[in-house]
Amino acid sequence: MKLLIATDMEGISGVVNWDQVRPSHSEYVRSRKIMTGDVNAVVEGALRGGADEVIVADGHNNGYNILLEELDPRVRLHTGNAAPLAMVQGAGDDIDAAMFVGYHGRAGHPLAVLSHTWDPHILNVWLNEFLVGESGINAAVCGYFGAPLLLVSGDQGLAEEVSALIPGVETVVVKYATSYFSAECLPLSESWERLRKGAEEALRRFKRGGGPQPFLLTSPMRVTIEFSLSSQADSAMKMPGAIRLDGRKVQAPASDALAAYNLFRTLVQLSSI
Ligand SMILES: [Zn+2]
């Protein structure tokens, strides 16, 4: 049983501010250590639960945040920028299931720390009729390869968002958002115990044939993005097949979830300001 653990940083234990996830800020040094600790706890639980092989993908910013020297030596780490599958590099036909660690709520979430969807100038993203954040976008890629999302960790806002999209997903709350920039945080020992336990239980459930189904969307798909500026929508309209739904909203067709992922990232790049 091969598991992909895809990671981000905004949903890591103790993180509530952009400074904590920016390499240029002194606080970032602490966040890298804590991120590695959150990941190690999930690895420990997953291996106890019966995973045979684990690959960890470092998905925040430039993709080099996790400290290899402190990472559990039983796993491999994918690190670096511009990997073909970005935040879910490692997803493929050989992956049986996925877990997302340190994730955050979608752009515009009413109560989630540092909520955003890929780029600060994106207001909303829909895959077909589903309003999604990064968790939904990345779960769809794993689903394309037949791998269900077994667990997510972050704040309670993220937990609610993913549970609504993927029934049965194990959610591990490591902090309770009180605003975009604040949260009540658990002691690390408690966060890591929750992560270990959650990962072990999710894995055991999966091995018994239970837990969530892969997040599958009907093909052909529609990717819809609402940008913050109409000038971004102008730029996104260069995409062949794109239609303008309104001043800020562009929609384009994709043959399947993998094509939709590539299309989404291309539209984001085209429209970047
Ligand atoms: Zn991030």
Domain boundaries, the chain: 2-115+134-207, 221-270
Dist. CA 146 → ligand 1 center (Å): 25
Please give the Cα distance from 231 to 248 (Å, whole number). Answer: 8
What are the tens digits of pLDDT across the range 71-123?
Answer: 999 999 999 988 899 999 999 999 999 999 999 999 999 999 999 999 999 99
**The one catalytic residue among 60, 78, 116, 121:** 116
What is the CA(117)–ligand 1 centre distance, in A? Answer: 9
- Ligand 1: centre distance to CA 104 (Å): 8
Write phi, then psi, for 227 (nearest 5 degrees): -90, 165
pTM above 0.85, yes or no: yes
Compute, in angstroms, the gap from residue 209 CA to the centroid of ligand 1: 32
The alpha carbon of 108 and the centre of ligand 1 are apart by a number of angstroms equal to 16
Rounded Cα–Cα distance for residues 1 and 119 (Å): 34
Q: What is the pLDDT of residue 3?
A: 98
- Residue 82: its pLDDT value, please? 81
Tokens for 73, please give them.
């030596």
CATH homologous superfamily for 2-115+134-207?
Dipeptide transport protein (3.40.50.10780)
CB-facing half-sphere around the CA of 238: CA atoms within 13 A = 11
**Whether the Cβ atoms of residue 123 and residue 227 lie closer than 8 Å to each other:** yes
Q: What is the pLDDT of residues 155-181, one digit of tens each?
A: 999 999 999 999 999 999 999 999 999
Q: What is the pLDDT of residues 51-72, one digit of tens each?
A: 999 999 999 999 999 999 999 9
116 is catalytic: yes
Q: Tell me the CATH architecture of domain 221-270.
A: 2-Layer Sandwich (3.30)
